[in-house]
Chain A
Amino acid sequence: MREYRFVRALLIGKKMKTLTKIALIIVPVVALSFSANAHDPKLHVKKNQKADCSKLDHSKMNMKDPVAMAMMKKCSQQAKKKRTTSQDKISQSKINTQHDNH
């Protein structure tokens, strides 16, 4: 009987230790996740936006300035890419229509 009690106490002790360990992991994780929600999540959104070239005012730009030159290059590259993509889409849709007709 005494041995049985001893083993039982030991098992309860082990369970407590395991529970303490789990609590030690879970409590900080939950606390951290709450603190992460405490501010605007928009701040953490990785932006992969395209260049907004619509606001470029060419008349006010000094074309010898490296910043203006870099912006022009980026915007022209973007426009070229856009044209190529839309042309590809048109030709692809033409192919699809021909296939449908056949």
Chain B
Amino acid sequence: MRFICKVFLEGITNMKMLKILLILAALGMITMFAVMYSGVVNVAADEPHSKFVYWMLEETRENAIANASADIQVPDLSDPELLLTGGVDYGFMCVSCHLKPGQKESDMSVGLYPAPPNLAIEHQTHDEDSDRRKARNFWIIKHGIKASGMPAWGKTHDDKRIWAMVAFIERLPKLSPEEYQILTAMD
């Protein structure tokens, strides 16, 4: 008899728990739709996220990239020819946002949010390991990043050209403006 009561009571408790969970899920959905359709979220690029939201998005992005690029094998990027191909492509596709030696800002670097990183200066990256950093850059160039302004160049450029850009970006922070000019100039 006691056993039956216990099972019965446990059943009631479980049912209660289930009900509470269902109510919470419904409330969550209602809140989500209310936020979506009320238009209260400010999507303007000149209004920064709160620190918490920025941290949340940045961590999500960095972990996603690290996970997606983990298995990428980095080829030998020491061929000088790669710097020439990558340099010209960088000059056409990347410099307006990611700047060049001697340049501090551009319309795009100021206007985009999140601000595109200045690739012409050396800074702390999430991947200190050289190969991981190269693989990360390759993945970003190839696939782009949603809602950031970074396009997926892999749709129009093959892997060889993207690796050439990676090779160029690796050397970019140490280039002088004169060296940059020569490497990115057209033939």
Contacts and interface: CB of A to CB of B under 8 A. Distances in A.
Do the two chains belong together in a single complex?
yes
A78 B107 contact: no
Contacts of A43: 106-107
Interface stretch (A7-15, A17-25, A65-73, A84-92): A65-73
Interface of A: 39, 43, 47-53, 55-56, 66-67, 69-71, 73-75, 77-78, 81
A21 to B, nearest CB: 24
Q: Is the interface of A mostly helix, strand, loop or mixed?
A: helix
A73 B80 contact: yes
A69 B187 contact: no
The 5 A-B residue pairs with the shortest CB-CB distance in the complex, in nearest-first order: A51-B185, A70-B80, A69-B80, A70-B83, A51-B182
B178 A67 contact: no
Nearest to B84: A70
B181 A74 contact: no
Nearest to B182: A51
Contacts of B87: 70
